[in-house]
């Protein structure tokens, strides 16, 4: 019995080695976190099941303070799903199960003592489609999060609103029209308003889900400038379809494919000297 | 439009003798006497009764309905869907059943647990609670009426709130909103027009509802139908018609007077609806849906 089991195991290992050698669908390299790196945020063995279907499989990544990390990969590869784990946005998705360990400053954010509401105040998020609150003015949108947190002092609100709008590279365009309804701004301005709104609560990490995918090149450029600038204060994790964008703004890049994190390295190295065949094909534009 | 015009015409013709006899007093008068030889008909008390019961029913029913809708929207489908179904079933209960239930079940409990404690505690100081509660009064009728508008208002509210884009909810959650704060930031501003529309549908029913109200409101007549407190009996325009239509002699002014009440009721309902629609139009969100 045990001999048969051992034989089976050996056969399985041989088959695995064969697949590895032939360069067909390879297992991603064993994920590891650099223990001494001092990460702001880490994900260890994170998997996400959507009503039984595995959308993200065993992803391990570390995010450093004051850096921009890009997640690239073809549509449906799980990068957005993974990003949403990082501030527990899946809590509201029926049928989504997140396993593995995600930490912020070493604290497991899925542990029972962590209140997702307080966590989300530390980890802001900007979505693919600009989503300002339509009934509110530009100003009220920016300070909405502060008001939730009980900030009432008008001068403090004004100050933070201006700072946040400046950081989002929007101040010069809206400083005269703060009381205008937010929906009257252009799409690019609305997206920067959403960035300002996320920044106003002074998050430590900012998650961005293809923030420029719905925008024209000039609006995109402004958002990219803002992101590079933000790096001086916080960690940015950005999902993007656009490889040039990843090259322009990010320090580290993770390439995901079919729910696996295939490769995660320094951006320059990942694009110039990819270790993995799939990464190479993707960054050279052979598929995706 | 043509149907309404035709109805107005018919009601005006039918009530012409009474209107000609009493003129403006028909609307602002408070006497109501059908005894031959001493006839006097004034609609004002019933108009007041109608407005008060409808307003009270809205005050109780609309927050309740929106609360139910919020709960259903925010629950997982396996809890929300059956609950929504049960609430909508309430709409299928015939109004006379609500009347019977109100008369034989609800009234007794309501007097014992709500009206009497309120009267004992506050009756001496606040006129609203001053009359001795008997159970056939404005508050009982309005509360049952409120329950009757819940299915309509809550199911429309639920649809309207479910139509708020997911991105709006996420925007609120992203800022660290609690569920209640999420409703306040994202759902209500986006759906306020639709919620007001839901309330108007409820108002339509509250103004016109006849049977259950007739059975519960105490059926006061004339000046005494202007309620002096929440626990006073009253009368609405539809209930006076339902109460007296059978015994009204076509030969006297009684029948034309009742048809005249119908005319005033129609005018009230239509004007309330017009005002409500105008309010809703002014609330419409620029660029936002619903």
Contact yes or no for A213/A146 (Cβ under 8 A): no
What pLDDT band is residue B284 in, cutting at 50, 70 and 90?
low
Angle of the B237-244 helix axis to the B254-283 helix axis, nearest 10: 150
Which pLDDT value is given to residue B38? 82
**Range of lowest pLDDT (A24-28, A115-119, B47-51, B253-257):** A24-28
Contact A129 B189 (CB under 8 A): no
DSSP state of A153: -
pLDDT one-digit tens code per residue, A210-256: 998 888 888 899 899 999 999 998 999 999 988 999 999 999 999 99
Q: Which residue has the higher pLDDT, B102 or A24?
A: B102
Return the number of CB contacts < 8 Å for A and B. 76
Does A201 contact B at CB distance below 8 Å? yes
pTM (2 decimals)?
0.80
pLDDT one-digit tens code per residue, A243-280: 999 999 999 999 999 999 999 999 999 999 999 999 99
Token look-up 């028909």 returns: B26
Kindly identify which residue of chain A lies nearest to residue B189, measuring between CA atoms.
Answer: A135
**Would the pLDDT of B182 be above 90?**
yes
Which pLDDT value is given to residue A7? 45
Which pLDDT value is given to residue A36? 64
Which chain A residues are within 8 Å of B181, Cβ to Cβ?
Answer: 148
For the segment B27-31, the average pLDDT, to the nearest whole number, is 88
Residues 47-86 of B with CB under 8 A from A: 76-77
Which pLDDT value is given to residue A20? 43
**Would the pLDDT of B102 be above 90?**
yes
Which pLDDT value is given to residue B187? 93
Does B282 contact A at CB distance below 8 Å? no
What pLDDT band is residue A165 in, cutting at 50, 70 and 90?
very high
| Domain assignments of chain B as residue spans, ordered by start | 2-283
Contact yes or no for A216/A50 (Cβ under 8 A): no
Residues facing A64 on adjacent strands: A39
**Would the pLDDT of A26 be above 70?**
no
Q: Kindly list the structural domains of chain A, giving each domain's residue range(s) and its CATH number in brackets, ordered by start.
A: 33-130+205-283 (3.40.50.300)
Contact yes or no for A227/A250 (Cβ under 8 A): no
Which pLDDT value is given to residue B268? 92
State the DSSP string of B74-128: HS-HHHHHHHHHHHHHGGGS-HHHHHHHIIIIIHHHHIIIIIHHHHHHHTTT-GG
Which chain A residues are within 8 Å of B165, Cβ to Cβ?
Answer: 131
What pLDDT band is residue A179 in, cutting at 50, 70 and 90?
very high
pLDDT one-digit tens code per residue, B224-281: 889 989 999 999 999 999 999 888 888 888 999 999 999 999 999 999 888 888 887 8
- The two three-digit tokens of residue A225, written as one number: 């400038």
CATH class as words, domain B2-283: mainly alpha
- Of the partner residues B76, B171, B175, the one whose CB lies closest to the CB of residue A201: B175
Which pLDDT value is given to residue B39? 83
Distances in Å between the alpha carbon of A270 and those of A46, A192, A283, B222?
22, 29, 9, 89
Q: Which residue has the higher pLDDT, A34 or A1?
A: A34
- The two three-digit tokens of residue B169, written as one number: 């909810």
How far apart, in whole angstroms, are the C-alpha atoms of residue A229 and residue A249?
Answer: 10
How far apart, in whole angstroms, are the C-alpha atoms of residue A219 and residue A225?
Answer: 10
**Would the pLDDT of A25 be above 60?**
no
**Would the pLDDT of A63 be above 70?**
yes
What pLDDT band is residue A18 in, cutting at 50, 70 and 90?
very low
**Would the pLDDT of B207 be above 70?**
yes
To the nearest whole number, what is the mean pLDDT of chain A?
85
Which pLDDT value is given to residue B125? 86
To the nearest whole number, what is the mean pLDDT of chain B?
89
For the segment B164-189, the average pLDDT, to the nearest whole number, is 91
What pLDDT band is residue B289 in, cutting at 50, 70 and 90?
very low
**Neighbouring residues of B263: CB distance < 8 A, sequence distance ≥ 6:** B8, B11, B12, B15
- The two three-digit tokens of residue B224, written as one number: 């005494």
């Amino acid at each position: 019995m045990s001999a048969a089991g051992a034989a089976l195991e050996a056969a399985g290992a041989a088959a695995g080695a064969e697949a590895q050698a032939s360069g067909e669908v390879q297992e991603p390299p064993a994920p590891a976190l650099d223990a001494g790196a001092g990460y702001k945020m880490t994900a260890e063995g994170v998997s996400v099941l959507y009503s039984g279907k595995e959308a993200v499989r065993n992803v391990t990544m570390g995010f450093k303070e004051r850096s921009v990390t890009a997640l690239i990969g073809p549509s449906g590869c799980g990068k957005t799903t993974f990003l949403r784990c990082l501030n527990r946005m899946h809590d509201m998705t029926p049928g989504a199960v997140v396993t593995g360990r995600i930490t912020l400053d070493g604290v497991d954010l899925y542990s029972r003592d962590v209140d997702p509401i307080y966590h989300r105040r530390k980890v802001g998020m900007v979505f693919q489609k600009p989503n300002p609150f339509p009934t509110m003015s530009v100003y009220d949108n920016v300070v909405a999060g502060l008001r939730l947190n009980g900030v009432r002092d008008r001068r403090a609100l004004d100050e933070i609103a201006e700072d946040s709008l400046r950081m989002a590279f929007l101040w010069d365009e809206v400083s005269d029209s703060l009381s205008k309804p937010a929906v009257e701004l252009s799409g690019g301005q609305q997206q920067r308003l959403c960035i300002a709104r996320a920044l106003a609560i002074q998050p430590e990490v900012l998650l961005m889900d293809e923030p420029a995918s719905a925008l024209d090149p000039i609006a995109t450029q402004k958002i990219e400038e803002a992101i590079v600038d933000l790096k001086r204060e916080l960690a940015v994790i950005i999902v993007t379809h656009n490889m040039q964008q990843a090259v322009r703004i990010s320090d580290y890049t993770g390439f995901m494919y079919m729910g696996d994190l295939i490769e995660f390295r320094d951006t320059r190295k990942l694009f110039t000297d990819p270790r993995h065949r799939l990464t190479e094909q993707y960054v050279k534009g052979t598929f995706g | 439009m043509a149907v309404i015009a035709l109805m107005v015409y018919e009601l005006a013709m039918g009530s012409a003798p009474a209107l000609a006899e009493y003129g403006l007093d028909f609307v602002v008068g408070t006497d109501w006497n059908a005894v031959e030889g001493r006839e006097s008909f004034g609609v004002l008390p019933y108009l007041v009764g109608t407005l008060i019961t409808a307003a009270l029913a809205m005050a109780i029913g609309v927050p309740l309905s929106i609360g139910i809708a919020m709960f259903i929207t925010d629950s997982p489908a396996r809890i929300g869907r059956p609950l929504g179904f049960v609430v909508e079933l309430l709409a299928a209960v015939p109004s006379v059943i609500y009347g019977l239930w109100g008369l034989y079940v609800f009234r007794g409990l309501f007097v014992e647990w709500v009206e009497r404690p309120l009267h004992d505690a506050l009756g001496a100081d606040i006129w609203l609670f001053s009359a001795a509660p008997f159970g056939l009064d404005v508050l009982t009728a309005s509360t049952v009426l409120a329950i009757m508008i819940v299915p309509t208002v809550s199911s429309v509210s639920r649809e309207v709130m479910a139509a708020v884009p997911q991105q709006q909810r996420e925007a609120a959650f992203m800022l660290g909103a609690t569920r209640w704060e999420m409703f306040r930031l994202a759902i209500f501003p986006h759906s306020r027009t639709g919620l007001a529309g839901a309330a108007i549908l409820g108002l339509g029913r509250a103004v016109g509802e006849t049977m259950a109200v007739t059975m519960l409101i105490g059926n006061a007549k004339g000046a005494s139908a202007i309620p002096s407190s929440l626990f006073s009996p009253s009368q609405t325009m539809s209930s006076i018609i339902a109460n007296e239509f059978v015994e009204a002699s076509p030969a006297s002014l009684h029948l034309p007077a009742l048809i005249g009440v119908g005319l005033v009721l129609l005018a009230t309902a239509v004007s309330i609806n017009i005002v409500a629609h105008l309010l809703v139009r002014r609330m419409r969100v620029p660029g936002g849906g619903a």
